[in-house]
Amino acid sequence: MAGDAELHCTFHGIGVSAGTAVGPLVVVTPPPKAPADEAPTTDAAAASATVHQVLDDVAKGLDARAASAAEHAKPILEAGAMMARDPGLAMGIDTQLQKGLGVATAVTAAVEEYCAMFESLGGYMAERVTDLRDVRDRAVARLLGQPEPGVPSLTVPSILAAHDLAPAETATLTAETCLGIITEAGGPTSHTAILASQLAIPAVVQAVGILGIPAETTVAIDGGVGEITVNPTAQEIELLAERKRRRAAALAGGTGNGATKDGYPVALLANIGTADDARKAAKQPVEGVGLFRTEFLFLDRDTMPTVEEQTATYTEVFQAFGTRRVVVRTLDAGADKPLKFADLGPEENPALGRRGIRLGMIRTDVLDAQLEALAAAYKATGADVRVMAPMIATQAEATWFADKVRALGLPKVGVMIEVPAAAIRSKGILYHVDFASLGTNDLQQYTMAADRMQGELAALLNPWEPALLDVVALACEGGAAMGKPVGVCGEAAGDPGLALVLAGLGVSSLSMAPGKVPAVRTALGLHTLTQCQQMAAAARAGTNATEAKAAVMAMADPVLADLV
Ligand code: PEP
Ligand code: MG
């Protein structure tokens, strides 16, 4: 319906994954809850027939989705359909209906009882709990006359709009059918944003009000500048296409190792989360993996993967990269990435709580199993494996981790610097390990005391913030003093302008979603190291993020503007 004057408007958010697309809007609905004041059941037999019919519809819907889903998603959907047809569940619901509970309340209560039973059985059965709750949400929605919740199956290529997406939901999307992602919440370093760029899907977060746009409306998204146009005119679509062409021209050609114009090397590496990511990234001209977020392998698991299972996955990843380096981060669970099998219970401030290495030091069984699997995969492949720990704050944590890794014969050990204490005292920390990688996402959240998940605080989470650059500079000084490499693997590494600043500050590698590498390679190749150093100084002299970015853009080659 391009050109519909009534609905023609523009939304501005934060662009978190570059690229442009035009397509129909599909809205993701949140799971409904059984209403507290639901009418009680007076005719249990009739209510039972209604619920059984709804469960059958849910099962058929899941079967249909499984038939057209990608291979890795089929078993999940089929398991859900099987759950919806489970006679035990139907009987449990009938029991609740006979007690007089309303239909949606009865489904909710019966599912919870079933979940408790499955959880007590552990293992494979415990893992079915997620499927059961999904069936519950779908059945309750149907009973309340609402659309089924969650990411719908995209039958035609569409642009997805949601309040926010859980990492597990985003992971099921593919660039073939999901042309773009727009969320009302989320920040530039939220894991939804990270996964979107991982999948090379244009994405905009903080697009407040987008959920007010009716489904099926045609929208145009520019994930670089963070703009969404509702019912774009033919001229606007052409402008977007022109932007796409300019960007493609600026990116054309480069495939070599990352380096400034005068040859100062800055390794360009890929961030990955799964073996599938690894296979795809390995085909790209990247110099290896700078961050393997291993927790993404386990996000949808209720029980810990076995050592054998983990060994197989790591072996696959290492083999995909041959002689190229693979930097593996041990499980970074907690806060916004909760893992069911490594949960230490609720905390007042999860981001400041027992997450990352802190969790690893408590659940040594989980960390030891992972390191054992990594060591086995290393021995099997002889790959260039480098293992690093998340959320290191002290020298004691660094030595504790390094000792464990070295005892297993793994060749290189490092730490993530994402806590300001570690950046400020990086020299002492680097004394114990071989390398460090700056996690600018968390480093910024902790430097600014601004929750990276809280979209309202996005202004404090702009990676051009001079305070963040100062902390990065301190970390690099420690690295230079110890003669040890310091890289960056937070989202800042994938911003072509910031990449210049980071190179100027002395980082030796930049790791990002593989789709961002060409723009960063081009940006580096257009500037000398001295220019990068001058840009870094100018950015740090800014009084805020806007000034810092403006100073760099003014000094940079004009082509830089086409790269975002
Ligand atoms: C970071 O904090 O910058 C980082 C790379 O780790 P994650 O985004 O997974 O927390
Ligand atoms: Mg982090």
pLDDT digits (tens, 9 = 90+) for 116-163: 888 777 666 666 777 788 899 999 999 999 888 888 878 899 999 998
Query: In this predicted model, what pLDDT tens digit does every residue of 20-73 receive, in sequence order?
Result: 999 999 999 888 899 999 999 999 999 999 999 999 999 998 888 778 766 656
Q: Can you tell me which atom of ligand 1 is nearest the CA of 437?
A: 5
Residue 342: per-residue pLDDT: 81
Cα separation, 537 vs 428, whole angstroms = 25
Cα separation, 157 vs 89, whole angstroms = 35
User: Which residue would you say has higher pLDDT here, 127 or 95?
Assistant: 95
Residue 11: per-residue pLDDT: 93
CB contact at 8 A, 174 and 190: no
Specify which residues 269 forms β-bridges with.
Answer: 511
Largest CA distance in the chain: 81
How far the first Cα of the chain sits from its last, in Å, is 28
Instruction: State whether the beta carbon of 490 lies less than 6 angstroms from ligand 1.
Output: yes
Residue 4: per-residue pLDDT: 46
Cα separation, 169 vs 178, whole angstroms = 12
User: Which residue would you say has higher pLDDT here, 121 or 405?
Assistant: 405
Average pLDDT of the segment spanning 399-415: 98
Provide the CATH topology of domain 258-528. TIM Barrel (3.20.20)
Instruction: State whether the beta carbon of 489 lies less than 6 angstroms from ligand 1.
Output: yes
CATH 3.50.30.10-classified regions of the chain: 9-29+150-236
* Closest by CA position to 24, among listed 149, 153, 161: 161
CATH 3.20.20.60-classified regions of the chain: 258-528
Instruction: State whether the beta carbon of 273 lies less than 6 angstroms from ligand 1.
Output: no
Q: Which ligand is nearest to the CA of 187?
A: 1
Q: Can you tell me which atom of ligand 1 is nearest the CA of 445?
A: 2
Lowest mean pLDDT among 170-179, 205-214, 271-280, 350-359: 170-179
CB atoms within 10 A of CB 145: 7
* 3-state SS assignment for residue 197: helix
Specify which residues 23 forms β-bridges with.
Answer: 219
CB contact at 8 A, 380 and 317: no
Class of domain 44-143: mainly alpha
Cα separation, 415 vs 421, whole angstroms = 13
Lowest mean pLDDT among 55-59, 131-135, 308-312, 338-342: 338-342
Specify which residues 268 forms β-bridges with.
Answer: 510
Q: How close is the Cα of 418 to the center of ligand 2, in Å?
A: 6
How big is the CA angle at 200 (ends 199 and 204), to the nearest 5 degrees?
A: 100
Is 527 an active-site residue? Answer: no
Query: Above 50 in pLDDT, residue 3?
Result: no
Closest CA to ligand 1's atom 4 = 439
CATH 1.10.274.10-classified regions of the chain: 44-143
Instruction: State whether the beta carbon of 293 lies less than 6 angstroms from ligand 1.
Output: yes
Is 191 an active-site residue? Answer: yes
* Cα dihedral 500/505/509/515 (nearest 10): -30
Domain 9-29+150-236 homologous superfamily, CATH: Phosphohistidine domain (3.50.30.10)
Provide the 8-state DSSP code for 152.
Answer: P
Residue 167: per-residue pLDDT: 62
